[in-house]
A and B are shown apart, each in its own frame.
Chain A
Amino acid sequence: MLTSRLRLIVIAGGLLLLLTAPYLAQLTGSAGLLGLANRIAIYAIAAVSLDLILGYGALVSFGHAMFFGLGGYAVGIIAFHTGTGEPLFGWKGSNAALIVWPLALVACALLAAAVGTLSLKTSGVQFIMITLAFAQMVFFVLVSLQSYGGDDGLLLDRRNTLPLIDLSRPTTFYYVCVALLVGWTAFCARVVNSRFGLVLQALRQSERRSINLGVDPFPFRLVAFIISAVGTGLAGVLWANYARFVSPDMAAWSKSGEFIAIVVLGGLGTLLGPIAGTAVFIALEQILSIWTEHWMIVMGPVLTLVALFGRRGLAGRLFGERNG
């Protein structure tokens, strides 16, 4: 079939672009290109994660930035204590990614379990408002953390370390991000097409039918919400390492909105679409902000057009055809 061949070509092309970005940057002599590609890879992990519940579960979380922020701050705070030697709950801290990153992800999972348990009792607009409210709480908690920089955020001395892999090298760090993006997307695709994913998608299409088939909606949605939060937290962890800087803005409501915009731009319920959406969004942001600081003036209409005319987003037509 034409679309399936085109889909393969686009996927292969996208992957090739991701893998060769460092060489392209070297070739063209523009050092900024690698940074741009790295930001895309990191944000794409968050976009894929959000799509898992937004596209497949129809759960419009307007608070996903809280997990992005928490993942980042977990890295930042542990790095701060490791640097100053001041113990954190009696722990001297660590710089090892294999210790710090899982801790950050567990923190995100716990927050998601709490937020999900309360917010998933509601649906529709109430769900949107409750997730937003929790994200705002996290935002203001981060602002109030004076010892960790408050409003100004926190600088990290250096990136976390992995055995055998030198994360301080930009190219290496970039490939680690790409590997995590590919792995995470493959995992999410597996989840979506699994027995669990079948029920999750059925709940989106007809909750009434699902309940009358014996499904209790809450645990399925909660588990999906937690997985999604962990993925977004991973993006936050990587962001903190990439920028070596965390600030409350990571958890701002506008960041949550940006994530939703990226997923809608790329194509709801397609997983690969949001990756394309991230690339377009971040690249446009980069290009337009050179031209004007009010780049949203252009981005706004683009989003509107896509939402109006491409019901399944930029890449939805390609990736969305009966994707389970």
Chain B
Amino acid sequence: MAEPASQRQAPILAIDGLRKAFGALVATDDVTLDIRTGELHALIGPNGAGKSTLITQICGELKPDAGRILFDGRDVTRLRPHLRSRLGLGRTFQITQLCPDFSALENILLSIETRGGGSFDMLSNPRGNAGAIASARARLAEVGLGDLADRQAATLAHGQRRQLEIAVALAREPRLLLLDEPMAGLGPEESAAMTRLLDGLKRRYAILLVEHDMDAVFALADRVSVLVYGRVIFTGTVAEVRSDPAVRAAYLGGEPAC
């Protein structure tokens, strides 16, 4: 399980003493976490543990009350979300966020076009850019949507929209992928396909995976952090998490470690 090579490198994302409170509710309570280059780090926790709040702070949509977020060694705590994205932070959403009127291909083209923040070029049509289209098609094929390039995003099935969202995130070669419950709402077969897809992305990208599907988490994760009431109560390998009594009591509910 140990990865000496990546452990020696500086982490791509380092969260240090992060805190966010909504009135009396402390949604993020002194969270310290790091994601290493090439690592798939899973974040698990019961509903209301503050997983989404943490993700939105990493992306910059929500400002923390205290603490720091370092992306590739750079302090981004005060950086606006679109600028964080330009540094190489890619994400998918718990509720898919796509451009519903655009085709699948156009959604990918948008991602390629906006790598540097988008262009004010008012004359050239990106749909005529052969290079961009070829790489967009390759992305779609990679997530298994090769045949659906011209389908309007709104007409895609739920699982296909999830796949498309991952392709949109990948199209800009992110340095870190934040995946917010990519299995949510998927049937067993779709979940298995998504697990295979994520397994193929492992090592190529640093990934923070927020997920409820324990089978997927245990199959994919290099390390797992457990969030309960806004606190990280444990970080370790899959084997360590499974055998930790505190984690089992708080979250796994004594489920046999099969």
Contacts and interface: CB of A to CB of B under 8 A. Distances in A.
A, B co-complexed: yes
Given A190-B123, A205-B99, A198 B152 contact: no
B20 interface: no
Given A194-B123, A199-B113, A209 B99 contact: yes
Given A212-B81, A214-B115, A198 B120 contact: no
B229 interface: no
Interface of B: 59, 61, 80-83, 85-86, 91, 93, 97-103, 106, 109-111, 113-127, 152, 168, 172
A209 B120 contact: no
Contacts of B59: 212
Interface of A: 190-191, 193-199, 201-202, 205-206, 208-216, 219-220, 223, 322, 324
Given A206-B98, A209-B98, A212-B91, A198 B110 contact: yes
A153 B119 CA distance: 43
Contact of A215 (B97, B98, B102, B114): B114
23 contacts: A190-B122, A190-B123, A194-B122, A195-B119, A196-B119, A198-B109, A198-B113, A198-B118, A199-B118, A205-B101, A206-B99, A208-B97, A209-B99, A211-B81, A212-B91, A212-B97, A213-B114, A214-B83, A215-B114, A215-B118, A216-B82, A220-B120, A322-B152
Contacts of A202: 99, 102, 110, 114
Nearest to B87: A214
Contacts of A196: 118-122
Nearest to B111: A213
B86 A214 contact: yes
B255 to A, nearest CB: 34
Contacts of B116: 214
Given A201-B99, A205-B102, A195 B152 contact: no
Task: Please provide the 4 A-B residue pairs with the shortest distance between their CB atoms, ordered closest to farther.
Answer: A209-B97, A214-B85, A205-B99, A199-B118
Nearest to B118: A199
A184 to B, nearest CB: 13
A215 B121 contact: no
A211 B118 contact: no
